[in-house]
Structure 1
Amino acid sequence: MVTAEYSAHHLQVLEGLEAVRKRPGMYIGSTDSRGLMHCLWEIIDNSVDEALGGYGSRIDIVLHPDGSVEVRDRARGIPVDIEPRTGLSGVEVVFTKLHAGGKFGGGSYAASGGLHGVGASVVNALSERLDVEVDRDGKTWAMSFHRGEPGVFSNGSPASTFTPFEERSELRVVGKTARGVTGTRIRYWADPQIFTKDAAFHLDELEQRARQTAFLVPGLEIVIRDERTDVAAETSYRFDGGISEFAEFLAPDGAVTDTWRLTGSGTFTETVPVLQATGAMVPTEVERECHVDVAVRWGTGYETVARSFVNIIATPKGGTHQQGFELGLMKVLRSQVEQNARRLKVGNDRLEKDDILAGLTVVLTVRLPEPQFEGQTKEVLGTPAVRQIVANVVTSELTARFASTRRDDKAQTALLLDKIVSEMKARISARAHKETQRRKTALESSSLPTKLADCRTNDVAQSELFIVEGDSALGTAKHARNSEYQALLPIRGKILNVQKASISDMLGNAECASIIQVIGAGSGRTFDLESARYGKVILMSDADVDGAHIRTLLLTLFFRYMRPLIEDGRVYAAVPPLHRVIVQNPGSKPNETVYTYSEQELHGLLAKLSKSGRTWHEPVQRYKGLGEMDAEQLATTTMDRAGRTLRRVRLEDAEAATAVFELLMGNEVAPRRDFIIDSSARLDRERIDV
């Protein structure tokens, strides 16, 4: 139970944090799982910043069964002495004061991920309970907080009685440590008043971020322990190869060039408000140094994989550093193509950015004090001077690579120019072809496949294309659809595995070519989303293993060759039912038809009916395919907008599906063999169709 007393001490502590609790989205983006994970990143990044400074080489992250999470490090430990301006301990300042920390002015951190000084205090404000322990000066110091307010809990549960400090806070000494042992342990419970009920820590996302950080900080070990299951799982990440190893890990295709490292630095001046000893903020001109480290590698494919970071914080939406990288890249490669125009047979054609980025895997990192981000979520770097510094480093390093007399460098740069020019010529040819293959008007003959059952509307936003598995399902679907806005395209079984096939093989495959032709927006880098003929593309296959396989094959086709459709949220998977249960009603009242979509849902429904004393027709109908439904059933459950369920395919879904598909159906045999051996014990025989 929380005390109802509210003294001046509470007002002083909670004054700033109340704004965080009132507008949490401003600080963490959202209050769902994404925001919950962002809070965890804020705590982890503080430990990573210590490791970047050379303090501590291991970080432990523990997901506890009660929903809390704990982060431990062996760094310097949060200061425990009294901060003179506030009269509070360093621990309390860090966790209760916004815009307070050791990352202003470059005194303690030359370059850090946290810079606004709000990370730890925001997490504290949005936590039902937060416990912090600090090993420092031969002692273990401890303090607890309830929704940002310091005090004492009666036991280890966030629901226990909490007594806030009234006059002054106390940083308790709870133990002793060996000489020289330092570190910080933070454990917190997210506040259910703030976060949605389904918000949870996602282990796969956490592991991905930990792996990424281990790549970016060579020598740092990050250990994740998940105790939320009966058998605790522990994973450790440590890499000594830095971003070169990261680029090799990310690359999705065979190599045209080795991984090249482009490094350098530059300085710039900026005027920033600096906190003086008197407490006043005085505008001061300071000189900054920006270090640039880039790993680039071109492959045989056309996909671009780009990761950019500022002080090891990911910037998925780019910013000035990414703009500078592309600027330098364009300058050097355009110059090289012009110098070799005769050999490359370029003529007057000019390179575009997409020609250069095709097949490129790049990891771009910059480190600088107090970078300017757009918002606390730090997704976009805004420091203007970084653009030119990165451009200069890339220009200088790449020019030196092209001027190198080493045999390997000369061979690889020649192959790279050939690849870039071939991409440019392919783009120009595709554009010319597209101009001659515009969608036919109603007065012209149509070149669309004869098996397409098109819709009547010309409103792209309202139209839907159902890609249907098999001709038997097509016949039913024709009667079930609304022909005004629903089009049908049947495919014969499983389409080509485009993960292993070349582009020419894919275009030569009748099913793949029909899908691309019907959608009408091209494929690959020349895909034009605005030319797509349908507002939704819905994959409608049987609810069995083969149907899932077909969806995966189709998903791989869209991910590799029509990705903008997925990015724009236009690709869906239909959800047909597995069972049809006819519930008997007493007397003359008509029977009720209920559809279920999984074995678990069916058993739950039958148990509920039995408990209420109701009966149903036996046997329960189980659909083995879409063709077993009549038109009314298919319309009601799967096609009619009023009653259907659609699953939107997100980009991360497609990436995950493609990764699994590459494992199971790709060219590499060894990983597939290891997967089968490791997973054999988890085989559920009931999931295999016999």
Structure 2
Amino acid sequence: MTESGNPSQPANVNEYTASHIQVLEGHEAVRRRPGMYIGSTGERGLHQLVYEVVTYAVDEHLAGHADTIDVTITADGGVRVADNGRGLPVEVEKPTDTPAIERELTELSFGSKPHAGYGVSGGLSGLGLCVVNALSSRLTVEVHRDGHRWTQEYEKGTPITPLTRHEETGEHGTSIAFLPDADIFETTWYSFATLSERLQELAFLNGGLAISLTDERPERPVRYHHSDGLRAYVAHLNPYPPSLVHSPAIAFESENQDATIFVQVAMQWNTWSTGGFRSFANSTRTHEGGAHEQGFRTALTDLVNDYARRQRQLSTHDEDITAEAIEEGLTTVVSVKLAHPVFEGSTRTRLSNPEAGAYVQEVVREHLTDWLDNHPDEAAAIIRHILNAST
């Protein structure tokens, strides 16, 4: 990233030389333009700091090394995120003789995480911990790894203590505590409700992962653990059993042969709401949808029309049921996990991987068709509901 000299002075092209170029690296670049990395310096960006640290812990879970994440809003207004994963690496790396953990917290290493081992990764593509560190007035990292406890402290992205080895331990995991920089953020007050909603969402999306949230301002502990995954998520979104067209929710999942795309779907029709669609890529909410949403909708529209005609609930002379009628009252959650996600825009709100859309189509056509064929009574009720919505 570059910045020209004093913007208040008129530019003189004859005096513009290399000495006028300022190269910003690491925490300096983040602190100069925080919005480029976390979206804003308001409440959204403030909470994004927590999500980035939590995402590192979720990645440990997805890699098979963590099943618990504990998030605490501390009494001083900071946040502490602890997991029982492998622990950030502490070995010294050549040629810089810098501990790997320090590089992770100070270097903008675009691409996959420097310490690797992640087939799927969310967050800012390996930048998350560095960005959080740069935008914190104080950050402390504690790691249990390689038979010892290790600690290091930072101020505004700069280490103020060396990585220090402490007593022996048989535990493993990482704990990161940080205080957002009041000179950067418009507010430093964390919303318990906002964090709680997102953490519960992550627990739904990552079945078997236990996530707790504690507020020390006063203490308000909650714990989320959903072994039923997306089916439990849809049940949470559809809280009125008498309005359900069918129960339980339809749920299925599949992974492609190359193990590069994992798809999970849960869906349920109801009569009390217009329905809603929530999609995720690597546990990140894709508010603007993208290939995975389009793949689902294309497959759903085609197969519902095909099934209705096969069951003679729709004649060969009837027009196709529209996508709008099919989705009336339908609550859907689609989650894809990809080795190489491609997002449009810096806020990561639209997934553009065509292979994700194609695979979601394939999975929905196969599994939803099987479900309809094997649940004829529920399937008939769904088609009747859809036909009523189309009139």
- Pairwise same-fold verdict (TM > 0.5): yes
Q: How much does 1:108 deviate?
A: 0.3
Q: Structure 1: how far apart are the matches of 2:194 and 2:364?
A: 31
Aligned to 2:338: 368
Aligned to 2:194: 205
Aligned to 1:519: none
| Compared CA separation, residues 266 and 115, structure 1 to 2 (3 A) | farther
| Compared CA separation, residues 343 and 395, structure 1 to 2 (3 A) | closer
| Compared CA separation, residues 84 and 172, structure 1 to 2 (3 A) | same
* SS in structure 2 of the partner of residue 395 of structure 1: helix
Q: 1:168-567 to 2 correspondence within 5 Å?
A: 170-173=162-165, 175-179=166-170, 181-196=171-186, 198-229=187-218, 232-253=219-240, 254-258=243-247, 259-266=249-256, 289-340=260-311, 342-344=312-314, 347-404=317-374, 409-425=375-391
Q: What is the letter of the counterpart of residue 141 of structure 1?
A: W
Aligned to 1:29: 39
Contact 2:110 2:126 in 1 (8 A): yes
Aligned to 2:73: 63
Identical residues among aligned pairs (%): 36
Unpaired runs of 5+ in structure 1?
1-12, 153-169, 268-286, 426-690
Aligned to 1:570: none
Q: Structure 2: how far apart are the matches of 1:103 and 1:191?
A: 25
* SS in structure 2 of the partner of residue 355 of structure 1: helix
Unpaired runs of 5+ in structure 2?
1-22
Q: Structure 2: how far apart are the matches of 1:265 and 1:101?
A: 24
Aligned to 1:619: none
Aligned to 1:49: 59
Q: How much does 1:217 deviate?
A: 2.0
Q: Structure 2: how far apart are the matches of 1:209 and 1:90?
A: 29
> Is 1:77 matched up with 2:87?
yes
| Compared CA separation, residues 102 and 182, structure 1 to 2 (3 A) | farther
User: CA deviation digits over 1:234-257, x for unaligned, max 9?
Assistant: 112212111111111111542212
> Is 1:148 matched up with 2:148?
no
Return the index of the structure with the highest Cα Rg: 1
Q: How much does 1:101 deviate?
A: 7.8
Q: What is the letter of the counterpart of residue 320 of structure 1?
A: A
Q: How much does 1:123 deviate?
A: 0.8
Q: Structure 2: how far apart are the matches of 1:14 and 1:225?
A: 37
Structure of higher RCO (CA pairs closer than 8 Å, 6+ residues apart): 2
Q: 1:601-680 to 2 correspondence within 5 Å?
A: none
With normalisation by structure 2, the TM-score equals 0.87
Q: Structure 2: how far apart are the matches of 1:102 and 1:337?
A: 46
Q: What is the letter of the counterpart of residue 290 of structure 1?
A: I
Q: Structure 2: how far apart are the matches of 1:343 and 1:219?
A: 40
Q: How much does 1:263 deviate?
A: 2.2
Q: What is the letter of the counterpart of residue 292 of structure 1?
A: V
Q: Structure 1: how far apart are the matches of 2:364 and 2:91?
A: 45
With normalisation by structure 1, the TM-score equals 0.51
Q: Structure 1: how far apart are the matches of 2:280 and 2:96?
A: 34
Q: What is the letter of the counterpart of residue 294 of structure 2?
A: Q
Superposition RMSD in Å: 2.2
| Compared CA separation, residues 54 and 265, structure 1 to 2 (3 A) | closer
Q: How much does 1:219 deviate?
A: 2.4
User: CA deviation digits over 1:110-155, x for unaligned, max 9?
Assistant: 2122361111111111111111111111221111111111114xxx
* SS in structure 2 of the partner of residue 292 of structure 1: strand
- How many residue pairs get matched? 366
Q: Structure 2: how far apart are the matches of 1:114 and 1:177?
A: 32
| Compared CA separation, residues 194 and 237, structure 1 to 2 (3 A) | same
Contact 2:213 2:223 in 1 (8 A): yes
Q: What is the letter of the counterpart of residue 171 of structure 1?
A: L
Contact 1:344 1:418 in 2 (8 A): no
Contact 2:71 2:79 in 1 (8 A): yes
Q: Structure 2: how far apart are the matches of 1:316 and 1:345?
A: 37
Q: Structure 1: how far apart are the matches of 2:289 and 2:38?
A: 19
Q: Structure 1: how far apart are the matches of 2:68 and 2:253?
A: 27
Aligned to 1:683: none
* SS in structure 2 of the partner of residue 233 of structure 1: coil
Q: Structure 2: how far apart are the matches of 1:348 and 1:96?
A: 63
Contact 1:251 1:305 in 2 (8 A): no
Q: What is the letter of the counterpart of residue 214 of structure 1?
A: A
Q: Structure 1: how far apart are the matches of 2:59 and 2:253?
A: 21
Q: Structure 2: how far apart are the matches of 1:349 and 1:368?
A: 37
Q: Structure 2: how far apart are the matches of 1:16 and 1:127?
A: 14
Q: What is the letter of the counterpart of residue 415 of structure 1?
A: A
* SS in structure 2 of the partner of residue 15 of structure 1: coil
Q: Structure 1: how far apart are the matches of 2:201 and 2:352?
A: 22
Q: Structure 2: how far apart are the matches of 1:24 and 1:401?
A: 47
Q: Structure 2: how far apart are the matches of 1:391 and 1:112?
A: 23
Contact 2:105 2:157 in 1 (8 A): yes
Q: How much does 1:100 deviate?
A: 5.6
Contact 2:144 2:169 in 1 (8 A): no
Contact 1:116 1:376 in 2 (8 A): no
Q: Structure 2: how far apart are the matches of 1:59 and 1:244?
A: 22
Contact 2:141 2:152 in 1 (8 A): yes
Q: Structure 2: how far apart are the matches of 1:206 and 1:241?
A: 22
* SS in structure 1 of the partner of residue 344 of structure 2: coil
Q: What is the letter of the counterpart of residue 414 of structure 1?
A: A
* SS in structure 1 of the partner of residue 380 of structure 2: helix
* SS in structure 1 of the partner of residue 71 of structure 2: strand
* SS in structure 1 of the partner of residue 140 of structure 2: strand
| Compared CA separation, residues 31 and 348, structure 1 to 2 (3 A) | same
Q: What is the letter of the counterpart of residue 234 of structure 1?
A: P
Q: How much does 1:222 deviate?
A: 1.4
Aligned to 1:499: none
| Compared CA separation, residues 376 and 96, structure 1 to 2 (3 A) | farther
Contact 1:103 1:114 in 2 (8 A): no
Q: Structure 1: how far apart are the matches of 2:236 and 2:354?
A: 31
Q: What is the letter of the counterpart of residue 389 of structure 2?
A: E
| Compared CA separation, residues 115 and 36, structure 1 to 2 (3 A) | closer
| Compared CA separation, residues 101 and 148, structure 1 to 2 (3 A) | farther
| Compared CA separation, residues 343 and 192, structure 1 to 2 (3 A) | closer
Aligned to 2:16: none
Contact 1:346 1:421 in 2 (8 A): no
Contact 2:180 2:188 in 1 (8 A): no
